[in-house]
């Protein structure tokens, strides 16, 4: 007996944009601890990162412009963990006429089981072989008591399907019978868009799923803290418009440089 085919992930002829935002720096990151599903708040630097990414998304067409549409923002979806909720809330506070926040359990970070809360040196000392295997072959090894990538994808896929279905409800079907090359005095599209705030690990699986790539390619993606990635859907075809943008965090680097200069001046160091 033939099993019924699962419905396509991306609605037919979908014209829309999905913006992925990683959370800011957390206290566990400062302490060098594995996170996973463990709860940890944003650090003071993480709160500044959240404010800066929020301001960037509130003014997406200020130069240098983000490749975002001029259409309606449909949702701000986030992992329910504290660090992502804080980041998503900061974004909402900057947006005009934004929809309410929606927690999405499918966007939770990859569960790290027995590693959660442990310092990376302790994980290396106690689980070095497993950690090495995870880094080399992430589909065949993972944290004891944690999630496999297949399990993560099983919850990511319906979460993505729900977000994309909502985008389809708010837009007009597109067509591939148009120029697919950017840079020719392009007008801003007017299709809907959604912001998703989550984690580096789960976003790796999100991107592999959207672009129909095998989970073995897990380590091909990375997202820095408070970075922005933009995926546009053109008549149902996913297009990576931008990945791991962090230019909006430059003020933090300027502040750090200024603080270093002031400390050097006070100490008399050359």
Query: What does the pLDDT look like over 18-29, one tens digit per residue?
Result: 999 999 999 999
Of the pLDDT bands very low, low, confident and very high (cuts 50, 70, 90), residue 121 is very high
Selection from 74, 61, 98 nearest residue 14 by Cα: 74
**Alpha carbon distance 235, 12 (integer Å):** 7
Give me the sheet containing 101-103, strands edge to edge. 101-103, 73-78, 193-198, 16-22, 228-234, 237-245
Are 209 and 160 within 8 A, CB to CB? yes
Mean pLDDT of 218-237: 97
Residue 10 lies in a domain: no
Residue 169 lies in a domain: yes
Whether 109 is catalytic: yes
**Alpha carbon distance 187, 211 (integer Å):** 25
pTM over 0.85? The answer is yes
Residue 152 lies in a domain: yes
**Number of domains forming the structure of the chain:** 1
**Alpha carbon distance 158, 147 (integer Å):** 17
Instruction: Using a pLDDT cut of 70, give the percent of the chain over it.
Output: 91
Selection from 96, 196, 118, 102 nearest residue 156 by Cα: 196
Residue 195 lies in a domain: yes
Residue 6 lies in a domain: no
Mean pLDDT of the chain: 92
Residue 9 lies in a domain: no
Residue 2 lies in a domain: no
Of the pLDDT bands very low, low, confident and very high (cuts 50, 70, 90), residue 99 is confident
Residue 3 lies in a domain: no
Model confidence pLDDT, tens digit, residues 236-269:
999 999 999 999 999 997 666 556 545 544 444 4
Give Cβ neighbours of residue 13 (< 8 Å, ≥ 6 apart): 173, 174, 175, 235, 236
- Least confident span in 102-116, 117-131, 162-176: 162-176
Please report, for the domain that includes residue 88, its CATH number.
3.40.50.1240
Are 112 and 34 within 8 A, CB to CB? yes
Instruction: Using a pLDDT cut of 90, give the percent of the chain over it.
Output: 81
Of the pLDDT bands very low, low, confident and very high (cuts 50, 70, 90), residue 97 is confident
Secondary structure letter of residue 259 according to DSSP: H
The residue from 75, 109, 147, 232 that is catalytic is: 109
Whether 25 is catalytic: no
**Alpha carbon distance 138, 161 (integer Å):** 24
> What's the confidence (pLDDT) of residue 176?
86
Across the strands, what pairs with 195?
19, 76
The residue from 23, 78, 199, 248 that is catalytic is: 23
Show the tokens assigned to 37. Answer: 């599903």
Residue 171: which domain range?
A: 16-267
């Amino acid at each position: 007996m033939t099993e019924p085919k699962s419905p396509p992930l991306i609605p037919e002829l979908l014209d829309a944009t999905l913006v992925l935002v990683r959370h800011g720096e957390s206290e566990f990151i400062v302490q060098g601890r594995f996170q996973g599903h463990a709860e940890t708040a944003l650090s003071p630097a993480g709160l500044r990162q959240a404010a800066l990414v929020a301001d960037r998304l509130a003014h997406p067409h200020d130069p240098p412009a983000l490749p975002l549409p001029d259409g309606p923002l449909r949702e701000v979806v986030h992992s329910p963990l504290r660090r992502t909720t804080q980041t998503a809330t900061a974004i909402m506070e900057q947006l005009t006429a934004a929809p309410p926040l929606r927690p999405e359990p499918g966007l939770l970070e990859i569960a790290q089981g027995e590693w959660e809360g442990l310092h990376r040196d302790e994980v290396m000392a106690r689980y070095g072989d497993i950690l090495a295997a995870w880094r080399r072959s992430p589909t065949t090894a993972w944290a004891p008591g944690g999630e496999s990538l297949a399990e993560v994808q099983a919850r990511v896929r319906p979460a993505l399907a729900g977000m994309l279905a909502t985008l389809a409800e708010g837009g007009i079907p597109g067509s591939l019978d148009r120029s697919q090359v950017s840079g020719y005095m392009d007008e801003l599209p007017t299709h809907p868009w959604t912001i998703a705030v989550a984690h580096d690990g789960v976003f790796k699986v999100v991107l592999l799923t959207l672009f129909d790539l095998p989970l073995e390619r897990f380590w091909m993606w990375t997202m820095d803290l408070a970075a922005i990635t933009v995926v546009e859907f053109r008549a149902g075809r996913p297009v990576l418009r931008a990945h791991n943008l962090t230019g909006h965090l430059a003020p933090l680097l300027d502040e750090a440089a200024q603080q270093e200069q002031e400390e050097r001046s006070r100490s008399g160091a050359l």
